[in-house]
Amino acid sequence: MEAIQNVHEKWGRLEGEFFFELHRQVISFVCLEEGHYLAFAARCVNYLNSLPDLVIDDACEASIRYCNFCYSGEPELQVSPDHPRDILSLSGSPRLWVPQPQSDNQPIAVLEWNCEWEVEHGMLWIIREDQVFFVGPANLGESLWGDFFFGEDEFNYA
pLDDT digits (tens, 9 = 90+) for 38-75: 899 999 999 999 999 999 999 999 998 888 887 765 65
What is the per-residue pLDDT across 9-29, written as a single tens digit (0 to 9) for each? 888 788 999 999 988 999 999
Which residue range(s) make up the domain with 17? 4-152
The whole-model pTM stands at 0.87
Quote the number of domains for the chain.
1
What is the per-residue pLDDT across 106-143, written as a single tens digit (0 to 9) for each? 999 999 998 877 777 889 999 999 999 889 888 766 66
The whole-angstrom separation of Cα 128 and Cα 22 is 17
Domain membership flag for residue 158: no
Domain membership flag for residue 140: yes
Domain membership flag for residue 65: yes
The whole-angstrom separation of Cα 83 and Cα 29 is 27
Domain membership flag for residue 157: no
Domain membership flag for residue 102: yes
- For 87, the 3-state DSSP assignment is helix
Tell which residue, 23, 38, 36, has the closest CA to residue 111: 23
pLDDT, position 102: 87
Side chain identity at residue 27, one-letter code? I
Assess whether pLDDT exceeds 60 at residue 150. no
pLDDT, position 148: 53
Domain membership flag for residue 114: yes
Assess whether pLDDT exceeds 80 at residue 30. yes
Q: b/e map of 21-51 (b: 16 or more CB within 10 Å)?
A: ebeeeebebbbeeeeebeebbbbbbebbeeb
Contact 29, 111 (CB under 8 A): no
Q: What percent of the chain has pLDDT over 90?
A: 39
pLDDT, position 71: 73
Banded model confidence at residue 1, pLDDT cuts 50, 70, 90: very low
The whole-angstrom separation of Cα 74 and Cα 35 is 45
Domain membership flag for residue 94: yes
Domain membership flag for residue 84: yes
Secondary structure tally for the chain: helices H, strands E: 3, 7
Residues sharing a CB contact under 8 Å with residue 33, sequence separation 6 or more, in sequence order: 13, 99, 100
